[in-house]
C-alpha cells in the first residue's frame, strides 16, 4: 500500500509541474525550446537526467553485481565524453544556434550553419532523428513497463500503457519547459536515492573492509578492473563517450540556456551530479553482490532488491519513484526532440511554411503520434534494452557528432560534405550492428567507433575536393 501511495503522490507532483509549466508555454517556440530561458540548474540537470536514464539504476549496478570492477570502463568513458561535450560544444552551440537564424533544432542548425542551397542535410538529419529516437523511446517504454510489472505485479501490457501514458501526457501538457523542470526534480530524487541506499548497504556489509575481505576469499579478480578485459572491449566501453557530441536531446539543453555565461556553472553542477550518481550506482552493485553472496536471479534488479531489505516501505516507494523518474526523464526529452523535428523541420521543409506561433495543438498531436508509434513497437520487444539503447546512442553519435564538432570549429565544411559524412556515419553504424560485429566474431567493437571514425575521416578528405569546398567561408 505504501508503494502505491508513494507512486500516486509522485505522479501528482509530475502533473502539477507540467500544469504550471503549461501556463508559461504560450507558443510553438516555448513548446520546443522554452524560449531559451533555462537557468543553470535546469540546463545542468536537464542534460544529466535526460542522458542517464534507466540504465543508471538498473543496467550499471547489475553489471557491477555480475562482473565486478571490469565494467568500470563504460562509466569512465561516459564521464570523459560528457565533460568534453560541455567544454567543447555547450557554449559555442548556444551562441551559434542564435547567430545562424535563431535555429531551434539540430537539423535547422545544420541547414542554417552550412548555408545549404538544398534541403538534403535537413532532411537527412530529421530522418535520422526520427528513426533512432523511435527506437530509443520504445526502449524507454519497455523499461518503464518492466519496472512496473515487477513492482506492482501487473501484466506487461497494462504496465506499458500506464507508463507510456504518464510520460506522454506530462510531456504534451507542459512541453520542453515541463520536461526540464521535472528533470531537476527527478535528478535530485535520483541522487538522494543512490546515496541513501549506498550508505545503508555499506553499513550492513561492514563498509569497504568487509567488501574487500569477501572478494579476497570468494573471487580475487572481482575488484580488478583489468580482469578478463581485452583492449577491444575496453576501447568499446570508453568509446561510448564519443556519443555525447551527437545526442539531440542533450544538445538542445545547451541551445535553450538563458545565458552563455551560465554554462560554466551548469557544467560544474552536471558533472558533480553525474560523477556522484555513477559512483554510488556502481558501489551499490558491488556491495549488493556481497550482500546477496553473488546469488540473484536477475542482477539488474539488485537496486530494487536491496531497497526491499534495507529500507522501510515508504523509503522503498521513494526509491521506486527514483528509478521510474530516471527512465521518464530520458523518454520525455526524446519525445520533445522528435516532435520538434517534425513540426519545426519536416513540416517547414515540405510546406515551406513555419508553424504559427500559437499552434500548440499541432505540437501536441505530433507528440502523441510519435508516442503511439513507439508504443506499438514496444508491444513485442525483440531486442534487449541495452542493445536498443546502445544502437540508438551509436546512431546519433556516429551521424551527428563529427558534423556538429566541425560545424563549430571548421570554416571549410559545406552542406554537401556534411550530409555525405552524416549518412556515412549512419550507414556504417547500421551495417556494423546488422552484421553483429559489435557482439561477436573477430571484432566485438562497438558500432559507434567505426561509424564516428568513417564520418569524420570522409568529411576531412572531401573538403579538399574543389567541387565540395565552401565558396563563402563561414566564420565561426
How many other C-beta atoms are found inside a 10 Å radius of the C-beta of residue 66?
Answer: 16
Examine residue 475 and state whether it is found in any structural domain, yes or no.
no
What is the model's pLDDT at position 472? 42
Please provide the average confidence, as pLDDT, over all residues in the chain: 84
> Is the Cβ–Cβ distance between 250 and 456 less than 8 Å?
no
Examine residue 476 and state whether it is found in any structural domain, yes or no.
no
What is the model's pLDDT at position 474? 42
Q: Which residue has the cell 560485429?
A: 437
Number of domains in the chain: 1
Q: Which three cell numbers stand for residue 250?
A: 542533450
What is the model's pLDDT at position 469? 56
Give burial (CB, 10 Å; 0-12/13-18/19+) of 29. Answer: middle
What is the model's pLDDT at position 429? 93
H-state helical runs in 36-119:
40-52, 54, 60-67, 73-85, 91-99, 106-113
The CB-based long-range contact list for 18-21 (8 Å cut-off, 24+ gap) reads 18/169, 18/170, 18/171, 18/173, 18/174, 18/178, 18/182, 19/173, 19/174, 20/174, 20/181, 21/173, 21/174, 21/175, 21/177, 21/178, 21/181
50 DSSP 8-state letter: H
Tens of pLDDT, residues 275-293: 999 999 999 998 888 888 8
Examine residue 335 and state whether it is found in any structural domain, yes or no.
yes
What is the model's pLDDT at position 132? 86
Is the dihedral angle over the CA atoms 95, 80, 178, 366 positive or is it negative? Answer: positive
Q: Which residues of the chain fall short of a pLDDT of 50?
A: 357-358, 471-476
What is the model's pLDDT at position 476? 38
How many other C-beta atoms are found inside a 10 Å radius of the C-beta of residue 355?
Answer: 22
Examine residue 473 and state whether it is found in any structural domain, yes or no.
no
How many other C-beta atoms are found inside a 10 Å radius of the C-beta of residue 393?
Answer: 26
Examine residue 172 and state whether it is found in any structural domain, yes or no.
yes
What is the model's pLDDT at position 386? 60
What is the model's pLDDT at position 268? 96
Tens of pLDDT, residues 158-194: 999 998 998 888 888 878 887 788 888 878 888 888 8
Q: What is the CATH number of the domain that holds 274?
A: 1.20.1730.10
How far is it, in rounded angstroms, from Cα 247 to Cα 50?
Answer: 10
3-state secondary structure of 462: helix
Could you list the residue range(s) of the whole structural domain that residue 248 is in?
A: 2-468
Nearest to 338 by CA among 159, 57, 54, 140: 140
Amino acid at each position: 500500500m505504501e508503494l502505491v501511495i508513494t507512486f500516486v503522490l509522485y505522479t501528482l507532483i509530475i502533473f502539477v509541474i507540467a500544469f504550471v509549466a503549461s501556463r508559461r508555454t504560450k507558443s510553438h517556440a516555448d513548446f520546443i525550446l522554452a524560449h531559451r530561458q533555462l537557468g543553470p540548474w535546469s540546463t545542468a540537470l536537464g542534460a544529466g537526467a535526460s542522458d542517464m536514464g534507466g540504465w543508471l539504476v538498473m543496467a550499471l549496478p547489475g553489471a557491477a553485481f555480475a562482473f565486478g570492477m571490469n565494467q568500470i570502463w563504460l562509466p569512465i568513458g561516459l564521464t570523459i565524453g560528457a565533460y568534453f561535450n560541455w567544454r567543447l560544444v555547450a557554449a559555442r552551440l548556444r551562441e551559434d544556434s542564435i547567430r545562424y537564424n535563431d535555429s531551434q533544432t539540430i537539423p535547422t542548425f545544420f541547414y542554417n550553419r552550412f548555408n545549404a542551397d538544398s534541403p538534403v542535410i535537413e532532411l537527412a538529419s530529421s530522418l535520422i532523428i526520427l528513426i533512432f529516437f523511435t527506437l530509443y523511446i520504445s526502449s524507454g517504454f519497455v523499461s518503464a513497463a518492466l519496472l512496473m510489472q515487477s513492482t506492482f505485479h501487473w501484466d506487461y501490457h497494462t504496465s506499458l500503457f500506464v507508463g507510456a501514458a504518464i510520460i506522454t501526457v506530462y510531456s504534451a501538457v507542459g512541453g520542453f519547459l515541463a520536461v526540464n523542470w521535472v528533470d531537476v526534480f527527478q535528478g535530485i530524487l535520483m541522487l538522494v536515492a543512490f546515496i541513501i541506499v549506498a550508505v545503508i548497504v555499506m553499513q550492513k556489509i561492514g563498509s569497504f573492509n568487509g567488501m574487500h575481505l569477501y572478494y579476497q576469499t570468494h573471487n580475487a579478480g572481482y575488484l580488478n578492473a583489468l580482469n578478463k578485459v581485452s583492449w577491444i572491449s575496453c576501447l568499446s566501453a570508453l568509446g561510448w563517450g564519443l556519443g555525447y557530441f551527437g545526442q539531440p536531446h542533450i544538445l538542445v539543453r545547451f541551445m535553450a540556456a538563458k545565458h552563455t555565461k551560465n554554462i560554466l556553472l551548469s557544467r560544474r553542477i552536471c558533472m558533480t551530479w553525474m560523477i556522484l550518481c555513477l559512483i554510488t550506482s556502481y558501489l551499490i552493485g558491488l556491495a549488493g553482490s556481497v550482500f546477496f553472496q553473488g546469488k540473484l536471479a536477475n542482477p539488474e534488479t539488485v537496486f530494487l532488491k536491496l531497497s526491499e531489505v534495507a529500507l522501510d516501505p515508504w523509503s522503498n516507494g521513494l526509491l521506486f519513484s527514483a528509478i521510474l523518474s530516471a527512465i521518464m526523464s530520458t523518454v520525455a526529452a526524446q519525445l520533445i526532440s522528435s516532435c520538434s523535428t517534425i513540426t519545426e523541420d519536416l513540416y517547414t521543409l515540405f510546406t515551406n511554411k513555419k508553424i504559427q506561433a500559437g499552434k500548440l495543438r499541432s505540437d501536441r498531436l505530433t507528440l502523441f503520434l510519435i508516442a503511439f508509434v513507439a508504443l506499438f513497437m514496444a508491444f513485442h520487444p525483440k531486442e534487449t534494452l541495452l542493445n536498443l539503447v546502445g544502437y540508438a546512442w551509436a546512431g546519433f553519435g556516429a551521424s551527428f557528432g563529427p558534423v556538429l564538432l566541425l560545424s563549430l570549429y571548421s570554416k571549410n565544411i559545406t552542406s554537401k560534405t556534411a550530409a555525405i559524412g552524416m549518412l556515412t556515419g549512419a550507414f556504417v553504424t547500421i551495417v556494423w550492428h546488422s552484421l553483429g560485429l559489435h557482439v561477436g566474431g573477430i571484432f566485438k567493437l562497438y558500432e559507434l567507433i567505426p561509424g564516428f571514425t568513417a564520418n569524420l575521416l570522409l568529411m576531412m578528405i572531401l573538403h579538399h575536393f574543389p567541387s565540395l569546398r565552401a565558396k563563402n567561408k563561414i566564420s565561426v
